[in-house]
Amino acid sequence: MGSGLKPDPVSVKGFENFNSNKSLARLAENKFKGLLPVIFVCMFMEEADLKADNIGLDENGNVVKIDNDAAFASILWSILENYIPSYSNLNKSLQKQFKFSGEDINNPINPTDFNATTWQVRTLFKDNNIFSTENIHEMYDVWKKIISSKPIIFRLIDMIIQSPDLNATLKNLMTKKIEHLTELLNQHSEYKSYMQNNGDEVMKKIKNDAQDFKKNNKKYFTGSNVDLDTALDKAKQEMKF
């Protein structure tokens, strides 16, 4: 069973959001699998409008986030002010508002520092079973995938964002966030211990996921010189966890 971010409910078969008691009950039956990774990615991507309307389950029981037009809020809100700044010149209050802490990455459902405008999952999910060992390890896998996948992320930015200024701004933002997450994980003893014992298996899964993603999104990689296996191997060598 997987999880992910999707553009709209029309493209997600059987999508039912978490306003539905049926969907919430099904999530609990699934032992909340996939919930923590999706909510963490929402926090990482500066989602400013996370509510029960736009997160739910697809027909296979995967946790899915739709309606992502409030992501990268620090950039989005700056653009709405009619300019595209470099990351270093972003409004200081926005940088602080959407920066996550070490405490936040452990509990993205109820972060203390990251402060989105709407984060309804704070009140929606209070079951302690959400933080089972299996679910926490699933989130660790996503952390590893994010800090290992910068070449893939940058390739997608190049293919999607045509504006040079916006392209550079988003790359700068992603670089800062990946570096910040890496710093936090370097101090995270539980994560480091998990990766010492399971790192090879996790990287194998990340490689397989990357190849599947490339296969299913050929238009973004046609003519690309990004060798996913090589890029991921290099990332693994550069990181000690």
For residues 146-160, one letter each, b for 16 or more C-beta atoms within 10 angstroms of the residue's C-beta and e for the rest, the string is bbbbbbbebbebeee
Quote the CA–CA distance of 2 and 58 in Å, as a whole number. Answer: 10
- At 150-202, the pLDDT tens digits run 988 998 899 889 999 889 989 999 999 999 999 999 999 999 999 999 999 99
- Cβ density class 103-139: b for 16+ within 10 Å, e for less: ebbbebbebeebebeebbbeeebeeeebeeeebeebb
Whole-number pLDDT of residue 151: 86
Q: What are the two backbone dihedrals, phi and then psi, of residue 17, each rounded to the nearest 5 degrees?
A: -75, 175
Tokens representing 216? 């299913």
pLDDT of 103 reads 97
CA 223 – CA 183 distance, rounded (Å): 33
What's the rounded mean pLDDT across residues 23-43?
A: 97
42's tokens: 């929402």
* Whole-Å CA distances, 5 to 51, 119, 151, 165, 225: 14, 16, 19, 25, 26
Tell me what pLDDT residue 69 has. Answer: 86
Could you give the C-alpha distances from 88 to 53, 95, 164, in angstroms and in order? 33, 9, 16
pLDDT tens digits for range 20-29: 999 999 999 9
Residue type (1 letter), 45 = M
Task: Give me the mean pLDDT over the 117-128 stretch.
Answer: 94
Residue 97: in which H helix or E strand, if any? helix 92-97
Residue 140 three-state SS: helix
- Coil vs helix vs strand at 58: coil
Query: Would you place residue 96 in the very low, low, confident or very high pLDDT band (cuts 50, 70, 90)?
Result: confident
Q: Give the pLDDT of residue 1.
A: 40
Angle between helices 189-216 and 133-148 (to 10 degrees): 60
Cβ atoms of 226 and 155 within 8 Å: the answer is: yes
Q: Is the pLDDT of residue 231 over 70?
A: no
